[in-house]
Amino acid sequence: MSLTSAPADGPARHLVTDRVLHALAVSKRGCDELLPEADWLAKLARSEATGVPLRIKLGLDPTAPDLHLGHTVVLNKLRQLQDLGHTVIFLVGDFTSMIGDPSGRNTTRPPLTREQIEANAQTYYAQASLVLDPARTEIRYNSEWSDPLGARGMIQLASRYTVARMMERNDFSERFKAGTPISVHEFLYPLMQGYDSVALKSDLELGGTDQKFNLLVGRALQSEYGQEPQCILTMPLLEGLDGVEKMSKSKGNFIAITDAPNDMFAKLLSISDTMMWRYFTLLSFRGEAEIAALKRETETGRNPKQAKVLLATEITARFHGAAAAVAAEADFDLRARGGVPDQIDAVSLSGAPLGIGALLKQAGLAPSTGEAHRLVDGHGVRVDGGVVGDRSLKLGAGTYVVQVGKRKFARVTLE
């Protein structure tokens, strides 16, 4: 066991054991920044020496009803720190959602209504519990301390941070230079997020790289209120299925953690061989050495699909169970061979004979007749196993197995 001293300027001076160094390594795996690292090492050493767990905070605004794999990058890190014995605080930003986080935006973000927030928050924690251990998770809502502040408290809080420091934030300074409006209420968002850290007395706050400024505000406000400043840990923003833009529902490049197991598995198999390793680092619970060995094997001749199947199986099993992951792999292989899955949607339509474009649209296999025709032109449509090559095709009364691409099927009955 190695024994060294924590930095003398840390919160306390304690011995750094192998367990502490392991905890530091777990904290840093896949992260973008850990600030200040020396302070976090000192906090870990103090916790090890005293047996008092550290308080680790993650705040999420319920801006949409469902979480996707991009959200789980920070949730995974939270779970890893939770498994080290620390106290994890899952903070639902029901108050801050009504302000609207301007981070990374060049326009004012419309605040959500109380009804929207409550509807979204109902599912947030249930979904997060698929990653976190509910029995060891403290769930809080920031309206607990934000609502009681009132006008007087908000003014007093605002007096503890300057406009000059607020304008150091890139999105604010860029919007100001461009003459794009910045509403005064947007300044309140980082202040209120920072005040959450004061209220919770957090030792570490997690967030995406786009949250760095807000997390630093938390450090500054804790100092203002006489508390030991939290450390901050930022995680990279996970690219979506397109491999370029960050995973986002609005961009349509996401994998929801509530996706059906077959869909989740197939989407993970669709990522590029290069992007696969980033997904391994940020989403997999496999050890770094194991991932590195797998990458070496792939680079020296192993089929990349085999590694991708391991990733897809692990992630699908995490949210749906091992049996569902095995079934999803079998379903994917069947579709890849041109087979028809055992369970496909059944659709009944009237108006036979019906043109193939209208049929695809009405059956929900294409968003529009025009898109359906483009799919036909691209030889992406099959009826009873045969490729449709003529957009003028009309189908009479009967039942047909209709396939679009590799993954969309429907058993269509025309009357």
Per the domain annotation, does 75 fall within a domain? yes
pLDDT at 274: 92
Are 180 and 60 in a shared domain?
yes
DSSP state of 226: T
What pLDDT is attached to residue 345? 83
Percent of all residues in the chain with a pLDDT value above 70, rounded to a whole number: 92
- For the chain, the first-to-last Cα distance in angstroms comes to 76
Q: How many domains does the chain have?
A: 3
Which CATH number do you get for residue 403?
3.10.290.10
Whether 294 and 362 map to the same domain: the answer is no
Nearest-angstrom CA–CA distance, 161 and 220: 8
Between residues 407 and 330, the one the model is more confident about: 330
The pLDDT-based confidence of 10 (bands split at 50, 70, 90) is very low
pTM above 0.75, yes or no: no
Q: Among positive and negative, which fits the CA dihedral 101, 56, 161, 211?
A: negative
Bridge partner list, 59: 91
Co-location of 140 and 163 in the same domain:
yes
Beta strands in 31-120 (DSSP E): 33-35, 55-60, 87-92
| The pLDDT of residue 235 | 95
Among the residue ranges 12-26, 194-208, 348-362, 370-384, the one predicted with the least confidence is 370-384
**Segment 344-356 mean pLDDT:** 85
The residue ranking higher by pLDDT, 398 or 177, is: 177
Domain that holds residue 363: 345-414
- The rounded Cα 311 to chain-centroid distance in angstroms is 16
Q: What does residue 115 show for φ and ψ, rounded to 5 degrees?
A: -65, -45
- The pLDDT mean for the chain works out to 86
In a domain, 38, yes or no: no
pLDDT of residue 7: 55
Banded model confidence at residue 13, pLDDT cuts 50, 70, 90 = low
